[in-house]
Amino acid sequence: MSKTYNIAVLPGDGTGPEVVREAIKVLDAAATKYAFKLNYETYDYGGDRFLRTDEVLPENAADDLRKFDAILLGAIGHPDVKPGILEKGILLKLRFDLDQYINLRPVKLYPSVDTPLKDKGPADIDYVVVRENSGGIYTGTGGFSRKGTTDEVAVQSMVYTHEQVARCLRYAFEYTRRRAKDNTLALCGKTNVLTYVYDLWERVFHDIGESEFNEIRRDYYHVDATCMWMVKNPEWFDVIVTGNMFGDIITDLGAITQGGMGIAAGGNINPEGVSMFEPIGGSAPKYTDQNVINPLACICAGQMMLETLGEMDAAAAVESAVTSTTPKLKSMQAGGMGYSTTEVGDLVAETVG
């Protein structure tokens, strides 16, 4: 009897539905080849639904989604909705409610993809950022006083518990061990200024590393220096672990070094629960329904989903199909691929299947 996985699909806004459609095409090709089944259930969460119903997310959304084996998300963000409402009300709310405390973001330069980094190639740009995804300044409290006056005060606090830090670091060490590349985990912090929060991170990093992961080499970089070395010497990195805000920022830098938002994928992981996979770019509204958006980021998100489901052969086949597809594309940019969205999906799916 073949194995069946139930997948919740959230195509979302803008070009989200188009890239999700291609990812599903590739996932189905992999499922057929490796003899498992994927059942999809689609949810219409996003800007259009919000404008129609005035509800960002139904009350039971997280509970509904918890029943699935994984979630595939297209993009959230709508030009007619004020920035922040959908991002916070859907994307961040699901990450927090489903306790997806890891945001896993590979920075991998595929063959023949243009990188803005001079003299660097696929052998140099191949590392993974483990971004803490459940806390930090994203969930710390804040507020205004005397709003709208010249005496206004705004506060937004960065809050981490020992448990949040420890579970993220433990995941990062385990991931580094499993990856078995350079056995090096780098903590990205700011211990010279954020002397409370990153002091905690650094202490727990060395405690856990020394007692449980002695064979993993530990490096430390301040976040500003991390940005510098990601540009100058990306080959130094194997796995980088960092807090939520720094992780958000450095993974956009990482994404542009791997060819941009057309190819960058990520996973919001709850190692004990349901995880959600997404291309890390936005909804790109101006390209909606033109069949020109690059679906590779969403296809790579699907690849990460297969890995998390434990379908390693299928995941490897998708990865290798992407590797043989990138050299055929003129660029990773929307409208500049030399192929339509549908055709890129076809190229990958045919190679898999």
Listed residue (258, 252, 250, 325) closest to 295, CA to CA: 325
247's enclosing H/E stretch is: helix 244-257
The smaller minimum CB distance to ligand IPM, of residues 25 and 190, is found at 190
Number of residues in contact with ligand IPM under rule CB under 6 A: 5
CA torsion, points 347, 348, 349, 353, in degrees to nearest 10? Answer: 100
Whole-angstrom Cα distance, residue 193 to residue 191?
Answer: 6
Query: Please, what is the minimum distance in Å from the beta carbon of residue 168 to ligand IPM?
Result: 15
The smaller minimum CB distance to Mn ion, of residues 74 and 345, is found at 74
Interacting residue with ligand IPM among 27, 29, 71, 91 (CB under 6 A): 91
Exactly one of 97, 252, 339, 346 is catalytic; which is it? 252
Per DSSP, which regions of 243-289 are E strands?
A: 265-269, 276-279
Whole-angstrom Cα distance, residue 22 to residue 318?
Answer: 12
Under rule CB under 6 A, which residues in 277-316 are in contact with ligand IPM? 280
In order of 92, 112, 154, 222, 333, the CA distances from 86 in angstroms are 9, 35, 22, 32, 25
The answer to whether 70 and 40 are in contact (CB under 8 A) is no
Q: Which does 22 bind (CB under 5 to 8 A by kind): Mn ion, ligand IPM, none?
A: none
Whole-angstrom Cα distance, residue 353 to residue 84?
Answer: 40
Q: Which does 307 bind (CB under 5 to 8 A by kind): Mn ion, ligand IPM, none?
A: none
Copy the structure tokens of residue 91. Answer: 């994307």
Known catalytic membership, residue 5? no
Exactly one of 190, 198, 221, 238 is catalytic; which is it? 190
Known catalytic membership, residue 248? yes
Interacting residue with Mn ion among 132, 248, 278, 319 (CB under 5 A): 248
Under rule CB under 5 A, which residues in 262-281 are in contact with Mn ion? none
Query: Please, what is the minimum distance in Å from the beta carbon of residue 92 to ligand IPM?
Result: 5
248 interacts with ligand IPM by CB under 6 A: yes
Interacting residue with ligand IPM among 62, 85, 92, 256 (CB under 6 A): 92
SS3 293: coil
Range in contact with ligand IPM (rule: CB under 6 A) among 87-95, 142-150, 221-229, 292-300: 87-95
Interacting residue with ligand IPM among 87, 202, 235, 307 (CB under 6 A): 87
Supply the DSSP symbol for 68. Answer: S
Copy the structure tokens of residue 237. Answer: 């990195």
Known catalytic membership, residue 119? no
- Positions touching ligand IPM (CB under 6 A) are 87, 91-92, 248, 280
Interacting residue ranges for Mn ion, rule: CB under 5 A: 248
